[in-house]
Amino acid sequence: MLSYQNLVKSLVDEAIYKRGLKIYLEGFVSTPRNMILDNWRLYSVRDVHDVYFVKTPVLHLALASDKFDLAGSSVEESVSCSCSYFLEYGICKHIVAVFADLDNEFSKSYSQNEASTENLMEAIFASDTVKKHRKWLETIDQLLSRDTTNYYYLDEISRTLKNQEDIHQPFFKELAKIIEGVIGDYSREKRLVRIISESILVNRDSWLDFWREYFTAIDVDNQIRLYISLWKIYWVTSKNKEEFLEVFISPDQCIKENVFNELHGEFIEDKMVWIEYAFASRYYDWLIDNMDRLDPKLLIRIAEIFPEKREEIEIKIMNQIKQWSDFLPSGDYEMVVDVFKTWSQKLGKSDYYMDSINYFRANHRLKKKLLSQLD
């Protein structure tokens, strides 16, 4: 807000300023007359013997707000008084008096204006948000109604959500109503799976909690699709894994089995993709049935989960290490050392562990560096 008094105070010496205020306080500034030019006014100011005329623009209306810092120069350029002091020296006490009057006139309406402007902005903003939410809901409704591969608008929604989550709670509330109508409709659920995946891919933090409660409500086939897709997202986006991992525990065993088999088939060469899924989802059937195909470190993880199978598993590890030891390429020690370390850390130094270490020592007497690391 522009303060006329502060403005004029910076342009005159103190004596002039005080005299001007005194004139104003004594009530010698007339009611202004509007001039022909917009936002220009003519004041008459009574001084001891005479009346002087001050012409001034109403600066806060005549001056664009981005030029307020030039207000001082604009006063010197435009304001005038009919007194002789003004002709000789410029800004006079009459102008100071007029500016004090201007402040008095506008300061109250200023604050009123400011308040109402603020409310207005708030109202505009709120209705903008409502409009935006309506558009978002329409977008998602469209994505649910017909097959598409274009998720551009959904991505945009996901990105916007990232920045200002709290103001979008009404959107989620409305969306929940739409989604409840989708549950049980197989083909719409199928599209919902795509929407869930695409949105979580772009902005997991905002979407995951909202979608989660629908995961187990949808049809089994669609759940399988969903979890396969989510696992791939999990696999490529590695941040904050823990929270995301919980999602894979909840579905039924038969769904996990299907997801596992699908991943197994699709990523046959990329073994860790589906093995890690088995651990994450706690679907262990395949792992237990195929322990002979697993390397010692995976076996150690399984032994941790199933203490009752520990002995059986340690024997397997021991046999693998003996075999491994017989064919160890020279220099390839890191993995052996790593397995022994993990083994003793996770399962302790059992008889099978000691037996394996001793077998190793006997077999590789000359590999002093390796043997020293095993102590």
Cβ-contact 352, 318 below 8 angstroms: yes
- Interaction of residue 56 with Zn ion, rule CB under 5 A: no
- Interaction of residue 283 with Zn ion, rule CB under 5 A: no
Among the residue ranges 94-102, 211-219, 275-283, 365-373, the one whose residues contact Zn ion (CB under 5 A) = 94-102
- Interaction of residue 94 with Zn ion, rule CB under 5 A: yes
Q: How many residues does the chain have?
A: 375
Among the residue ranges 75-83, 144-152, 168-176, 191-199, the one whose residues contact Zn ion (CB under 5 A) = 75-83
DSSP code string of 5-44: HHHHHTTS-HHHHHHHHHHHHTT-BPPPEE-SSTTEEEEE
- Interaction of residue 92 with Zn ion, rule CB under 5 A: yes
Could you say which of 83, 157, 193, 226 contacts Zn ion (CB under 5 A)?
A: 83
State the minimum distance, in angstroms, from the CB of residue 129 to Zn ion. 53
Among the residue ranges 64-72, 77-85, 317-325, 329-337, the one whose residues contact Zn ion (CB under 5 A) = 77-85
Closer of 11 and 255 to Zn ion (Cβ): 11
Residue 149, both tokens: 């591969």
- Interaction of residue 75 with Zn ion, rule CB under 5 A: no
- Interaction of residue 81 with Zn ion, rule CB under 5 A: yes
- Interaction of residue 86 with Zn ion, rule CB under 5 A: yes
Q: Is 98 helix (H, G, I), strand (E, B) or coil?
A: helix
- Interaction of residue 91 with Zn ion, rule CB under 5 A: no
> Would you give the binding string for Zn ion spanning residues 315-354, x where CB under 5 A is met?
----------------------------------------
E strand or H helix that includes residue 153? helix 152-163
Q: How far apart are CA 197 and CA 282, in angstroms?
A: 22
Closer of 95 and 228 to Zn ion (Cβ): 95
Closer of 86 and 283 to Zn ion (Cβ): 86
Order across the sheet with 40-46: list the strands. Answer: 33-34, 40-46, 51-57, 80-81
The CB density around residue 321, as the number of other CB atoms within 10 Å, is: 23
Closer of 89 and 306 to Zn ion (Cβ): 89
Q: Is 315 helix (H, G, I), strand (E, B) or coil?
A: helix
Cβ-contact 98, 56 below 8 angstroms: yes
- Interaction of residue 161 with Zn ion, rule CB under 5 A: no
Closer of 12 and 200 to Zn ion (Cβ): 12
State the minimum distance, in angstroms, from the CB of residue 131 to Zn ion. 54
- Interaction of residue 29 with Zn ion, rule CB under 5 A: no
Among the residue ranges 4-12, 47-55, 96-104, 268-276, the one whose residues contact Zn ion (CB under 5 A) = 47-55
Q: Give me the torsion for CA of 234, 240, 245, 246, rounded to 10°.
A: -140
- Interaction of residue 298 with Zn ion, rule CB under 5 A: no
Return the closest-CA partner of residue 219 out of 255, 257, 247, 246: 255
Closer of 49 and 146 to Zn ion (Cβ): 49
Q: How far apart are CA 339 and CA 350, in angstroms?
A: 14
- Interaction of residue 144 with Zn ion, rule CB under 5 A: no
**Which long-range contacts (C-beta less than 8 Å, at least 24 apart) are formed by 67-74?**
68/2, 71/2, 71/7, 72/7, 72/10, 72/11
The footprint of Zn ion (CB under 5 A) covers: 52, 81, 83, 86, 92, 94
